[in-house]
Chain A
């Protein structure tokens, strides 16, 4: 079964806007929550990651918000650019290994 669920499936945002992608998980043993970006023909690349002891982490234009009680976390892309057009995957894993459970992915399209 899908341990990590993403929404929405796809997103169209205007340049300069905010892209928000949500992720929900079931297993409360998960303690590492990364977001990956994937361009066509390439492997996923780590964007930003968070652990459940903090509620928010920001790196440049990318922010993760984490809600432990709701078992949800989200990715916010501020000032979205056409170069951000890609598929974004949330993932989760349990400490001590890097065996990641990925969501199905969200396609984000940023229009000029």
Chain B
């Protein structure tokens, strides 16, 4: 079975641009979460979606938005990119939204903002 897949794997943007990152969860998983991992740091929670509804939002500005589609895939959008948005963006999926469920991470999208 395929794991969590993210696209693209690498992306280079310039300040002020907009970016869309995509995530396909493991088949049967209904919850998708997004994390930002800056180099040398642990992942930081951005969003969680379950059954197409936002279930949680981390301490990120409104430039960050996300959505989940009927097939449970998800997009993370970042507007007006800043240099500080350069990071590895990780998507994780689980069957349900609770901590009783194991969280599976994708390999991430490496975003560089120049």
Contact = CB atoms under 8 A, between A and B. Distances in A.
Interface string A82-106: 0000000101011111111111110
Majority secondary structure, A binding face = loop
Contacts, number: 68
Interface residues on A, range: 20 to 34
A105 B41 contact: yes
Contact of A93 (B31, B92, B99): B99
Given A44-B105, A97-B55, A104 B99 contact: no
Nearest to A102: B42
Interface residues of B, number: 28
A38 B33 CA distance: 17
Contacts of A103: 42
B105 A97 contact: no
Contacts of B66: none
B94 interface: yes
Residue with the highest number of chain A CB atoms closer than 10 Å, among B43, B58, B101, B102? B43
